[in-house]
Amino acid sequence: MRTITAQQYMDGGDVDDGYDEAFVRHPDTGVRREIWDVGFERDEFGNVVLFTAAADPILVTPNTPIEVR
């Protein structure tokens, strides 16, 4: 595992084939969630939209750490 930012993840990171796994810690609860998909647009506040097993997407700032493999 290594860490990149949510912005790098949204941009496609630095690998051509993507990532096998990606995880984020929910900013409010600290619960670690696997990311299933990422919003390709930011919300009106500049947050990156991440989709996980949670009912609602998780909104994080572009510099939020994302663990990838």
pLDDT tens string for the chain (69 positions)?
899 999 888 887 555 667 789 999 988 889 999 999 887 677 888 899 999 988 889 999 999 999 998
Nearest alpha-carbon partner for 4 in 59, 48, 66, 69: 66
Q: Quick one: pLDDT at residue 38? A: 82
Nearest alpha-carbon partner for 69 in 35, 45, 41, 40: 35
